[in-house]
Structure 1
Amino acid sequence: MFTRAGLLLTWKEIRPYFIFSIILFFAGMVIGGTPNAPTEYLEQQMKGLEGISNSIRTSDNPEWTAFLLITANNILKTIMAMGFGIVAGLMPISMLVLNGMILGYLLSGFSASGENVFMLVVKGLLPHGILELSAVFLACAFGIRFGLTLLGG
Structure 2
Amino acid sequence: MVNIPGPSRFVRYLGELRAFIAIIVALFCLSAALGYVIPGMYPELVDALLSGLQDKADQLTGQQPLLMMLGIFWNNALASLLALIFGLVAGLFPLFFVMANGLAIGIVLEMVVAKMGAVGGILLFLAGILPHGVLELPAVLISAAIGLKLGYLALLSLIKRQDVVTGELMAGLMVFVFWIVPMLFVAAFIETFITSALLGSV
Q: TM-score range by the shorter chain?
A: 0.7 to 0.9
Which of 19, 23, 29 is residue 22 of structure 2 equivalent to?
19
Structure 1 segments unaligned to the other structure (5+ residues): none
Question: RMSD of the TM alignment (CA)?
Answer: 2.0
- Greater alpha carbon shift after TM alignment, 100-109 vs 12-21: 12-21
How many residue pairs align between the two structures? 151
Query: For residues 12 and 52 of structure 1, do their structure 2 counterparts lie closer, same or farther at Cα, with a shift above 3 Å needed?
Result: closer
1:5-44 CA distance string (max 9 Å, x none): 5434322210121122111111111111114654312312
Structure number with higher relative contact order (C-alpha < 8 Å, ≥ 6 residues apart): 1
Query: For residues 149 and 74 of structure 1, do their structure 2 counterparts lie closer, same or farther at Cα, with a shift above 3 Å needed?
Result: same
Matched, 1:52 2:36: no
Q: What TM-score do you get using the length of structure 2 for normalisation?
A: 0.67
Which of 75, 98, 103 is residue 96 of structure 1 equivalent to?
98
- In 1, Cα distance between the equivalents of 2:69 and 2:58? 14
Amino acid across the alignment from 2:138 = S
Mark the structure with the bigger radius of gyration.
2
Amino acid across the alignment from 1:105 = I
Which of 147, 151, 155 is residue 147 of structure 1 equivalent to?
151
Query: For residues 66 and 37 of structure 1, do their structure 2 counterparts lie closer, same or farther at Cα, with a shift above 3 Å needed?
Result: farther
Amino acid across the alignment from 1:21 = I
Structure 2 segments unaligned to the other structure (5+ residues): 158-202
- In 2, Cα distance between the equivalents of 1:96 and 1:37? 21
Give % identity. 27
Which of 127, 132, 143 is residue 128 of structure 1 equivalent to?
132
